[in-house]
Structure 1
Amino acid sequence: MKRVFYLITIFALISSCKDEVIPKPHFVGEIFGGGVIVDVTKDSKGEEHGLIVSTSDLSDSSLWSATGSNGWKLTNANSTTDGFANCQAIKLVLAGYATACNTCLDYSTDQFNDWYLPATSELFKIYIQQDIINTVLINDNDKNTNPIVPQRYWTSTELDGRDFSAYTANMLNGKIELSNKNYSYSRIRAVRRF
């Protein structure tokens, strides 16, 4: 009798256990969050975070800031790792001017409107993963997406202490180069975090 009771108890316990759905981990090249995942990390709690790049360029030829030589201003957007903070600094100082950061901050896809111009290290991550990203974008059968091209893209990182220079990343060779913010034209592609 005890055996029957134990068997019924064990069966009831096993039957009452619900199937737990374990989310699949995100990966580089996954279409997610309005773009393509470029980088994935886990925090101390095991939660995933990462960087997503937009599925197309927002401009193929743009100034970093259209303030002209009389409007050169130092924005203190000198973080190499936090493009969002850089864009907030740029937006504050260059309010009313057309900037590469504003192009990204104004961009939205579906329900995502938290895009920004990447800092140098964020754009370098895109350079490192561009073959995977481009394979996804070429094969997604979406005429509105386009691959990353081997040209210069603006970063949100300004040269510290220089009011006329900001960095670009050359997607042909990965070089981070200084360019004149008001006279040099480069491409723009937005990123967001998850």
Structure 2
Amino acid sequence: MKQILLVVYTTLLTLILNAQNVGIGTNAATEKLEIKGGKLKFTDNGEIISADPYHRILFRRTENMLELREWGDIIFSSGATDSNATNTMIIEKQRKVGIGTSTPNNASILDLTSTNKGFLLPRMTAAQRDAIATPAPGLMIWCKDCGDFGQLLSYNNKRWVTTTNQTPDSGTPTDLSVGQSFRGGVVAYILQPGDPGYEPDLKHGLIAYPTDFTDTAWFNGSFNVVGAFSTAFGTGKSNTSLIVAALGNGNYAASLCDKLEKSRYIDWYLPSIDELRKLYNNKDLIGGFDNTKIYWSSSESSNFQAIGLFWNDGSYFGVGKNNLGNVRPVRNF
């Protein structure tokens, strides 16, 4: 009789378990197996496997390793729900990885897809780059202090080169000072806290062309408003672009700066009045100025006038665009 009852009980329990969900720590399980709180603990190596041997998670405790074995593709769906399983990363069984795409390009081992984000390389100084032990051919970095604003570099098994296969500019010296010859001209000003573009760990600033263009008009013969009204530090380059776009080619102040090339540097511009004042404050260290002349800024004041700085006393105000003054081009570093 006891054996019959045990068989009946076991049969009923099996039917209940087969028909219902099982909960551990909960009596309201909504899945076949639901564990509330606590841990699922393996005292040694363990595995979670599917009905076939092609999908498994291995807890390899003795090797301090978690291994995921999958015969097919592996998909990671960040921020997804049961009804919204949009994959953000896929590892295909053909050994292709896609991030932002579910169909990595067949020719790639890694396919990154986005319309609003980019690929960010490791960023370092030239000194940190040079400290990399035995860089591998093809290794790529962004050198923060190479060139004027950083350079994209790769290692070609002999040396670091730019994207045009040129030797990169050396890092900006930490002891750089006003008056020092540097990258096509003379250091005219070094950015200070509060200046646009200032970085505490990298030196940036203005480089002045070594000599002046003399007896130059601001305009090309027509009194027009070009919209270059900005006076602030950091706006000279945009002013110059506006002037050249409006006035076209010629031998006027902004154009002479814009088409200037020296020591392969072609990004010279006519300084704004606030930038020109920095040059005036450091004129003795920079050198080569004429104290009897007016120097043009790129800052326009009206259709007839632009702001000129009188080099004998540092005063500045609107001057007729047809007047002849000196021009000292600058570039950024």
What TM-score bracket applies, with the shorter chain setting the length? 0.7 to 0.9
Once residues 274 and 315 of structure 2 are traced to their aligned partners in structure 1, the CA distance between those partners, rounded to angstroms, is 11
Larger CA Rg, structure 1 vs 2: 2
In the alignment, is the contact (CA less than 8 A) between 2:172 and 2:203 conserved in 1?
A: no
Q: Does 1:104 align with 2:257?
A: yes
The structural deviation recorded for 1:22 is 9.7
- Shift >4 Å, 4+ stretches: none
Secondary structure at the aligned position of 1:86 is classed as helix
The answer to whether 1:186 aligns with 2:295 is no
> Out of 62, 65, 73, which is 2:216 matched to?
62
User: Secondary structure of the residue that 2:266 maps to in structure 1?
Assistant: coil
Aligned-residue offset at 1:175: 0.6
Does 1 or 2 have the higher relative contact order (CA < 8 Å, sep 6+)? 1
**Secondary structure of the residue that 1:157 maps to in structure 2?**
strand
User: By how many angstroms is 1:177 displaced?
Assistant: 2.1
User: Structure 1 residues 38, 23: CA separation in 2 closer, same or farther (over 3 Å shift)?
Assistant: closer
Summarize the Cα distance change of 1:173–1:45 in structure 2 as closer, same or farther, 3 Å threshold.
closer
After TM superposition, the structure 1 = structure 2 runs for residues 5-154 of structure 1, keeping only pairs within 5 Å, are: 23-41=173-191, 43-44=198-199, 46-58=201-213, 60-67=214-221, 71-80=222-231, 81=233, 82-134=235-287, 147-150=288-291, 151-154=293-296
Q: Deviations over 1:35-88 (max 9, x none)?
A: 111111263452211001000112x10110122xxx321011011121110011
CA distance in structure 1 between the aligned counterparts of 2:211 and 2:173, rounded to whole angstroms: 28
Partner Cα separation in structure 2 for residue 181 and residue 22 of structure 1: 38
Contact 2:296 2:308 in 1 (8 A): yes
Percent identity of the aligned residues?
A: 29
Aligned residues: 156
For normalisation by structure 2, the TM-score amounts to 0.45
The one-letter amino acid of 1:53's match is: A
Give the match's secondary structure for 1:52.
strand
Superposed CA RMSD in Å reads 1.9
Whichever residue aligns with residue 103 of structure 1, its letter is L
What SS does the corresponding residue of 1:48 show, helix, strand or coil?
A: coil
Structure with the bigger percentage of helix: 1
> Alpha-carbon deviation of 1:33?
1.2
The answer (yes or no) to whether the contact 2:174–2:203 under 8 Å persists in 1 is no
Secondary structure of the corresponding residue to residue 85 of structure 1: helix
Q: Distance in 2 between matches of 1:166 and 1:23?
A: 36
Unaligned runs of 5+ in 2: 1-130, 132-170, 193-197
Task: Give distance in 1, aligned partners of 2:285 and 2:174.
Answer: 19
- One-letter amino acid matched to 1:171: W
Structure 1 residues not aligned, in runs of 5+:
1-17, 135-146
